[in-house]
C-alpha cells in the first residue's frame, strides 16, 4: 500500500508538471497566434542587458530589461522630473484613476487620505510611446538646462560650483541624447480596443499590461491630491530565445550596461498584451 501511494503521488506530481507546462505553452501560442498588435524596433536604450554579475550567475539564459520612463509632476533641473521603470506621471490624475476603477471619493480633502492610498494595485493596459513628444520634451529640457548652466559657468569663471553644475548638466544631456530610454508611458486604460483606436500607429505605440496603484501627491506641504503611481509593466523582462542570442554574446562580456545602440531588436506584442523578441541585429559602431 505504501509503495502504491508513493507511485501514485509521483504520478500526480508529474501530471501536474505536464499540465502546467501545457497551459503555459498554450498561452504563448494563443498570444502569438494572431497578427501582432504592435511591432516596434527598439535599441539597447530600451532593452538593456542585465548587470554583469547577474549575467554570470544566470549563464544558461538571457533576458533583456524593458526600460521605460514617465514624465513626473515636478520638473527641476533636467532629469529630475523623469523616472525609469516607475513613477507618478502628470496625466495620471484623480479623473484618470477613477476611469481605471479606483474610487477616488475615498480620498478626503484633508490630510486623512489613508483609505485611498490603501487600495490594492490594479492591472491596466499601459500605452507606451517610442521617441515621441514625451521624449522630445525631455530632450529639449536637457538641452535648455545644459545651455543655462553653461552660460552661468561662463559668467562665473573660476567658480568650481558653477563649473561642476555645468558639467553635470552636460552629462545629463549626453545621456538623454545617446543612452536614456526613449520609451515613455503616456496613457492607461481598461479597453484595449479603445486605446488602439486612440493610438493607431502600431510601430510607435505599445499596449502592454501593467500595474497602477493609488498614491497621494503633496505640493508645498499644504495641498494634497489623489493621483496614481505606475509600478510595473508585465514582469519587466523580455526573454531572448537561443536562436537570437548570438548578436548579444559579444556584449555580454563587456562592463556594466550603459544604454546606447549596441543592437536593435524587433519587439512584437500579441493579443494577450505579452511581448516577445522577433529579431536582434548588432549595430556597427560609428565614429563621431
User: What percentage of residues in the chain have a pLDDT greater than 90?
Assistant: 51
Side-chain-side CA neighbours of residue 134 (13 Å): 25
Residue 153 pLDDT > 70, yes or no? yes
The alpha carbon of 283 is separated from its chain's Cα centroid by a whole number of angstroms, namely: 23
- d(CA 256, CA 245) in angstroms, rounded, equals 18
Residue 223 pLDDT > 70, yes or no? yes
pLDDT (0 to 100) of residue 257: 54
- d(CA 206, CA 67) in angstroms, rounded, equals 13
Residue 183 pLDDT > 90, yes or no? yes
| Confidence band for 53, pLDDT divided at 50, 70 and 90 | very low
Mean of pLDDT values over 262-283: 88
Residues 6+ apart with CB under 8 A from 277: 64, 238, 239, 240, 241, 244, 265, 266, 267, 268
Range of lowest pLDDT (129-143, 184-198, 216-230, 242-256): 242-256
pLDDT (0 to 100) of residue 109: 56
- d(CA 81, CA 78) in angstroms, rounded, equals 7
Q: What is the mean pLDDT of the chain?
A: 80
pLDDT (0 to 100) of residue 30: 44
The string of DSSP letters for 31-79 reads HHSS--SEEEEEETTTEEPPPHHHHHHTTT--EEEE--EEEBS---SGG
Range of lowest pLDDT (64-78, 148-162, 260-274): 64-78
Mean of pLDDT values over 203-218: 92
Cell of residue 280, nine digits: 536582434
- What's the angle, vertex CA 175, arms to CA 51 and CA 285, rounded to 5? 75
Q: Pinpoint the alpha helices (H) of the chain.
A: 2-32, 52-57, 94-99, 114-117, 133-155, 160-178, 192-198, 246-252
Range of lowest pLDDT (19-28, 99-108, 112-121, 194-203): 19-28
Residue 277 pLDDT > 70, yes or no? yes
Residue 16 pLDDT > 70, yes or no? no
Residue 213 DSSP label: E
pLDDT (0 to 100) of residue 25: 44
CB 266 within 8 A of CB 39: yes
pLDDT tens-digit readout, 117-151? 889 999 999 999 999 999 999 999 999 999 999 99
Range of lowest pLDDT (87-96, 99-108, 143-152, 210-219): 99-108
Residues 6+ apart with CB under 8 A from 228: 88, 92, 93, 96, 97, 100, 102, 212, 213, 214, 215
User: What percentage of residues in the chain have a pLDDT greater than 70?
Assistant: 71
Answer left, alpha or beta for residue 74, where phi above 0 means left and psi between -120 and 50 means alpha: beta
Mean of pLDDT values over 229-236: 89
Mean of pLDDT values over 209-226: 83
Residues 6+ apart with CB under 8 A from 86: 70, 229, 230, 231, 232
Amino acid at each position: 500500500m505504501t509503495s502504491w501511494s508513493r507511485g501514485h503521488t509521483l504520478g500526480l506530481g508529474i501530471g501536474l508538471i505536464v499540465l502546467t507546462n501545457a497551459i503555459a505553452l498554450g498561452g504563448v501560442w494563443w498570444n502569438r497566434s494572431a497578427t501582432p498588435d504592435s511591432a516596434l524596433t527598439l535599441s539597447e536604450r530600451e532593452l538593456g542587458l542585465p548587470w554583469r554579475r547577474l549575467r554570470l550567475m544566470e549563464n544558461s539564459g538571457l533576458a533583456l530589461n524593458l526600460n521605460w520612463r514617465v514624465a513626473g509632476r515636478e520638473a527641476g533641473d533636467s532629469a529630475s522630473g523623469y523616472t525609469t521603470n516607475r513613477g507618478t506621471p502628470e496625466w495620471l490624475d484623480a479623473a484618470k484613476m477613477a476611469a481605471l476603477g479606483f474610487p477616488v471619493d475615498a480620498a478626503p480633502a484633508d490630510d486623512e487620505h489613508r483609505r485611498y492610498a490603501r487600495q490594492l494595485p490594479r492591472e491596466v493596459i499601459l500605452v507606451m510611446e517610442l521617441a515621441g513628444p514625451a521624449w522630445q520634451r525631455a530632450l529639449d529640457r536637457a538641452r535648455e538646462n545644459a545651455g543655462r548652466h553653461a552660460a552661468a559657468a561662463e559668467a562665473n569663471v573660476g567658480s568650481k560650483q558653477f563649473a561642476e553644475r555645468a558639467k553635470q548638466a552636460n552629462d545629463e544631456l549626453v545621456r538623454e541624447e545617446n543612452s536614456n530610454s526613449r520609451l515613455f508611458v503616456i496613457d492607461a486604460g481598461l479597453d484595449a480596443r479603445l486605446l488602439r483606436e486612440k493610438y493607431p500607429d502600431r510601430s510607435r505605440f505599445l499596449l502592454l499590461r501593467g500595474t497602477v496603484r493609488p498614491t497621494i501627491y503633496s505640493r508645498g506641504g499644504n495641498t494634497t491630491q489623489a493621483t496614481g503611481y505606475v509600478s510595473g509593466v508585465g514582469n519587466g523582462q523580455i526573454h531572448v530565445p537561443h536562436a537570437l542570442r548570438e548578436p548579444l554574446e559579444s556584449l555580454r562580456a563587456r562592463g556594466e550596461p550603459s544604454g546606447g545602440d549596441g543592437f536593435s531588436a524587433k519587439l512584437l506584442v500579441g493579443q494577450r498584451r505579452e511581448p516577445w523578441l522577433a529579431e536582434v541585429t548588432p549595430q556597427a559602431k560609428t565614429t563621431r
